[in-house]
Chains A and B, each alone.
Chain A
Amino acid sequence: MRKFWLVARHEYRNMTRRRSFIWSTIGLPLLIAAVTAISALIATGAGEAIALGYVDHAGVIADSAGATAQVGDVLFRGFSDEVSARGSLEAGALQAYYVLPADYRQTGQVQMYYGRNTPTERTRQRFDAFLRANLVADQPTAVRGRVDDGVNLILRSADGRREVTENGWVNILLPFVAGMFFTFATMMAAGYLLQAITTEKENRTVEVMATSLSPLDLVGGKAVGLMAVALTQLLVWIAALVVGLVIAACFWPEVAAVRAPWGLLGVTALFFLPTYALVAGIMVAIGGMVTEAQQGQQISGITSMLFMIPLFLTVLIFSQPDSPLIVALTLFPTTSFLTILMRWGATVVPIWQLAVSWVLLVAAAGLSVWAAARIFRIGMLRYGQPLDLAAAWAALRR
């Protein structure tokens, strides 16, 4: 086992010290930081104080004409007539003004007039809150508070395994994002592995390695080392995402509603390793058969599609997560991991499907690793001469 870990450490060090790895690892956090910062700036109106006017012909807002009121970062100024409000708008003192017609209480209709830019959704929500508060100003404090908070609908599945709140769309999106992350991490690690195997052949180092350690130590060490590389990258990305979510929660209540997805994490822990073993086995077999890295990448690109099929069916997974096709993808080893993660936000995946899927995946992973070891042993010394399918099949039957 010592040599196994030596290979794993060597591959880890070698890969994580590459400039391309460092840039791709910090690139995503930088992107998240940039997107979060820009979004926050937009959400807060780029940090500028926002002034909105209103003309209340319905007598809903107390102390309307000439009064000012602050709601969050928005200042509301009352005007007695539309001419003066328009004057302030044209003078640039207002971003927009609202007009509540005399029949507002009957129709609920309100007009908004804006200058160069329409107020943001967030700013409009401030006016809604301001108006609601005035509508119920004569009610007891508890009632005012309830009206202000609105309804928070909680949907629960009959078996109690699943709970979705109205503001919890992020909790639906999160499994999808996690699925993408883990699938890309798996494919990335497998890609590294393929590259390492083919490079070993291209460099002609494989013969020396074969007389230094067993094929299992060589291939296994590489697989573990490169998986650690992918996990390191993933960890950095997840950490960046969590920090981004924490910051975003200060600006969006929907993000604040995100709850730690423990069930999802459990499924991920169960499915990630066998999925990686399955992909790694396929990549080692490809690496054993081809003679050049480029050849291997072409074949692995096609093979990777087998794992990516759920992405092409995203709409179906969200709209009909329990349809027969999606259940079939849940059970099929190459698609099970991603399909389950994508379904997780949209439905309750039955326990039996999880169990059958995991058993099939582990069996496929075992078969993949076994076949890969045989093909690698036969193909590793075929310099400049690829192993054809017939020879690979013969190696498996031996």
Chain B
Amino acid sequence: MSGPTVSLTGLCKTFGPVKAVTDVSFDVYPGEIFGLLGPNGAGKTTTIRVMLDIYRPDHGQIAVFGGRLDEGKKNRIGYLPEERGLYKDLKLEPTLVYLATLKGLDEATARKRLADWLQRFDLYDHRHKKVQDLSRGMQQKAQIIATLIHQPDLIVVDEPFLGLDPVNTRLVKTIIEEQRQAGRTIIMSTHQMYQVEALCNRIVLIDRGRSVLYGEVEQIKHDFAGNAVVVAGQGDFSQVPGALEARRENGTWHLALAPGVSSQDIFRALAARDDVKIERFEIAEPSLEDIFVSVVQGAGAGEAADA
């Protein structure tokens, strides 16, 4: 494997008394889609902003394309921030051409590529409209074009599916996959775990400013197997001691286990109850969402217990 496109080690960033990021480390390699996960306020956006030199870190090492992020490297980055925005009183086409030229493209190339992108996103007929006259979904698609038009080597997308209908969500997923196949590095921050499972090769889970889970998706799921069980039967399985969360799916109950709780413990607890009847009990391969809940809530419960 070639060297990492992005490498973060021991990243720390505080805003006054608030510790936004206290210890985040991960590497992202070319040709992979890397998931940056975490609950609201965990420090994902701050991590991205520090990584992209919008904020200066208090401590820690950041290497982008093998070194410090200088002005020249900015042309190799495409960024779709969580806080979206375009110049509302300008027309769509000149706005996107302007943003593309700021990424190093000449105007002619930008116009040529833009025509293709606009057609692909079904925005070509709207190119002479002012941005403020476009729907929210259209504006979202326009910003995805601005992120990709200069063919960046590193693509950072924060909640890329926000505001998109299912058809456009599928289109964006296809495009992200195409970019990965083209050898580009993609960092995707999202709350939509099924999208992460469908797209990402590796993930880092940030909670309270720290990396708490990091590695390949498959390996993580394998490591967490046993941390969830599937139960079918009669009765209410929503309140089971040792289960962090109980979810009903297709007539069965999916129970995410608290750290230190085994499937045997759950089985014994259920067997001891008279109000439920077990018809099927099996160890589930956990979804990323289970793992997310298990790690985040488990850490919270742990801290509460320590307190």
Taking Cβ atoms with an 8 Å cutoff, the residues of A that contact B are: 3, 6-7, 10, 14, 199, 203-214, 217, 381, 383, 391
Contacts and interface: CB of A to CB of B under 8 A. Distances in A.
Given A207-B83, A208-B85, A213 B49 contact: no
Interface in B174-189: none
A381 B54 contact: yes
Nearest to A18: B89
B49 A208 contact: no
B131 to A, nearest CB: 9
Contacts of A217: 71
Contact of B77 (A10, A211, A214, A381): A211
B101 A208 contact: no
A212 B85 contact: no
A213 B71 contact: yes
B71 A207 contact: no
B193 interface: no
Interface of B: 16, 49, 52-55, 71, 74-75, 77, 79, 81, 83-88, 90, 98-99, 101-103, 143, 146
Given A6-B98, A6-B101, A211-B74, A14 B83 contact: no
A3 B143 CA distance: 20
B102 A207 contact: no
Contacts, number: 58
A6 B88 contact: no
A207 B81 CA distance: 7
Given A211-B77, A213-B102, A381 B49 contact: yes
Contacts of B75: 212
A211 B52 contact: yes
A206 B143 CA distance: 13
Contact of B90 (A14, A207, A383, A391): A14
A204 B85 contact: yes
Contact of B54 (A14, A204, A210, A213): A210
Contacts of B99: 208, 212
Nearest to B97: A10
B49 to A, nearest CB: 7
A212 B103 CA distance: 6
A10 B81 contact: no
A265 B306 CA distance: 75
A239 B40 CA distance: 59
Contact of B79 (A199, A207, A213): A207
